[in-house]
Chain A
Amino acid sequence: METVSLREINKYFGEKKNRIHVLTNVNFKAQKGELCLVLGPSGSGKSTFLTIAGGIQTPSSGEVLIDNVKLNSLREKQKEQLRLEKIGFVLQNYSLVPYLRVEEQFELAKRVKKEGNLNKADFTAVIKQLGIADLLTQYPRELSGGQRQRVAIARALYSNPDIIFADEPTAALDSQRVVEVGKLFKDLAHNHNKSVIIVTHDLRLKEYADRIYEIMDGNLKQV
């Protein structure tokens, strides 16, 4: 079943002579239980792709569907609700609220989305798998870059979304953690029936992907 589908997506920035074509006729689909990797260097349009696929930014033309719902037909509040219920984001920077302890990052998620989050057993399993079980009382500033990234992943998973978008999730991780994160995302896709879409330039994640796309100068193609 298709969870995310992008059809003939174009995105421009600027007007007339200053117009920049960031995404050109992009077609993309992700299935349930599948880990998709979108590989590309900086400035290739990865982030624009991610924001459009995640319903944060609207395309100049084309159609985005999440669970067969056309995002173009939704109002901003409805998109917000859809993101809250169905999508988890793992972002590269500023992912954690600096004044909340690790455990409070999850409490905030719980306060915003009261139902449908991970149960205690699953949550314990996730934080153990990510190696952050001992960090629950720490503030983000007390964590290393890798630990922060793992907490951000755990927080995205806490709301138990059907679709997970990750923006360079392994940027701050060493090779051993990359393996663990790769396995975790793969496990989420295969054993928990989630769609995982990772945009990255980290080729180490290739071996965990079910489907690989490459993006270059706004053109996306499946490898």
Chain B
Amino acid sequence: MFLAWKEMRYEKLRYTLIIAMIVLISYLIFILTSLAQGLARQNTDAIKSWDIQNVILNDNANTSMTQSIITKSQLNKVQIGKKTAIVTQVPVVVRGDGNSKVSAQFVGVNSKQFIMKNLKVTEGKKPIKANEVLADSSLKQAGYQIGDEIKLNSGQTNYLISGFVNNEKLNIAPVIYGANSVAKVLKNAGPTFAASAIVSQGSKIILSKDSGLKNYSVGEFIKKLPGYSAQLTTFIFMIGFLMIISLVVVAVFLYILTMQKLENYAVLRAQGVPVGVLVRATISQSLLIVISGLIVGTALTGLTASFIPSEVPMYFSIPLLSIVAIGLVVVALLGVIIPIRVVTRVDPVTVIGG
């Protein structure tokens, strides 16, 4: 640490520039991770809040809840218990007097089943009548209030906002909970339509082969949400590449710096300074660079978090960001492998010439 710190103090500009690169990389990684996390949550917040294990959809729905149609006769063949609920998902546009239009997902549920029962209302109350709805609190940011009457899609029926719930989003849109009967109307479904899906908190529901339904684990279902996997994979790739870039930055810079110090190291080796001291100095330097970069990167991320508009779907998960930071520290340790090989091969003879 002694040699590493003294050198960084002496070569302030050089090391400030290297640290600045790590700051930018770590900041970008943190922001991308938060964005990925935010988008993932906005895709699945509602599903996660239901705390379900399985989803039953129409066999031909290609794992899409909005495309799935479960008929009354199909529903009758499924045993509906306390841990089972029906759901109908309909994409809607919310309109209200004086407020901007908001794209949302109408989720029709049975008020006696666990989804509606378990929802935690943050303001107002749960719907009692069929024309009452419970909305995600992001609608408040668009100007909607409790007691406001809203229209859905091009329909002329008024629905009353009875309350708000936090973090209820599906397919990156706020969820509006209402009666399953309303969802049927919004979906323009025929008389045989019962629901889009049956969700279950318990173990897998056994379906007969000819039911025309298919059981998915919640993990499978989430993976196949439209755009979800593509989005997440893109972010994972970007974060991965940034990790590789930081690995290359650390490795290349430390390699160049080590090459420039070989004569000094050779003198120290001649004087009997153990190679371990020089190896430790190289590792310390790498860690100092990355940790300094991470500290500033974290501060910038914190600053960004406090200023970022709420419309930007970012979620700053400290445990996840800590894992990413640890990943960068590991990358820093990998980056010293080549410089360390150079250090261990320093030949003191090279500096004694004449």
By a beta-carbon cutoff of 8 Å, the part of chain A in contact with chain B is 42-43, 46-47, 50-51, 54, 56-57, 77, 80-85, 87-89, 91-95, 97-100, 104, 107-109, 111-113, 139, 156, 167-168
Contact = CB atoms under 8 A, between A and B. Distances in A.
B263 interface: yes
A87 B268 CA distance: 12
B264 interface: yes
B239 to A, nearest CB: 35
B264 A93 contact: no
A94 B267 CA distance: 7
Interface in B14-62: none
Contact of B352 (A81, A84, A91): A91
Contacts of A97: 3, 264, 268
Interface in B295-354: 348-349, 351-354
B244 interface: no
A112 B6 contact: no
A139 B7 CA distance: 12
B257 to A, nearest CB: 11
Interface stretch (B63-71, B90-98, B176-184, B269-277): B269-277
A112 B277 contact: yes
B266 interface: yes
Given A57-B349, A139-B10, A80 B3 contact: no
Nearest to A94: B263
A24 B351 CA distance: 23
18 contacts: A47-B352, A47-B353, A50-B352, A56-B270, A56-B349, A57-B349, A82-B272, A83-B270, A84-B273, A92-B354, A97-B3, A98-B264, A99-B11, A100-B3, A104-B6, A111-B2, A111-B277, A139-B10
Contacts of A82: 272
A56 B270 CA distance: 6
A51 B352 contact: yes
Nearest to B273: A112
A114 B78 CA distance: 79
A83 B271 contact: yes
A97 B268 CA distance: 9
Contact of B270 (A91, A98, A107, A112): A91
B2 A93 contact: no
Contacts of A167: 352, 354
A126 to B, nearest CB: 17
A89 B349 CA distance: 12
A95 B263 CA distance: 9
Which of under 10, 10 to 19, 20 to 34, or 35 or more describes the interface residues of B? Answer: 20 to 34
Contacts of B2: 107-108, 111
A144 B14 CA distance: 25
Given A56-B352, A104-B6, A108-B2, A84 B266 contact: no
**Residue picked from A57, A87, A95, A99, most chain B C-beta under 10 Å:** A99
Nearest to B266: A94
B352 to A, nearest CB: 5
A77 B275 CA distance: 9
Nearest to B348: A56
B345 to A, nearest CB: 12
B277 A93 contact: no
Contacts of B264: 94, 97-98
A56 B275 CA distance: 14
Contacts of A87: 271-272
B10 A99 contact: yes
B274 A112 contact: yes
A87 to B, nearest CB: 7
B259 to A, nearest CB: 14
Contact of A80 (B10, B274, B352): B274
Given A56-B348, A99-B10, A100-B6, A47 B354 contact: yes
Contacts of B266: 94
B73 to A, nearest CB: 82
B11 A89 contact: no
Given A83-B272, A108-B3, 18 more contacts: A42-B354, A47-B353, A47-B354, A50-B352, A56-B349, A56-B352, A84-B271, A91-B351, A97-B3, A97-B264, A98-B10, A100-B6, A100-B10, A104-B6, A108-B273, A111-B2, A167-B352, A167-B354
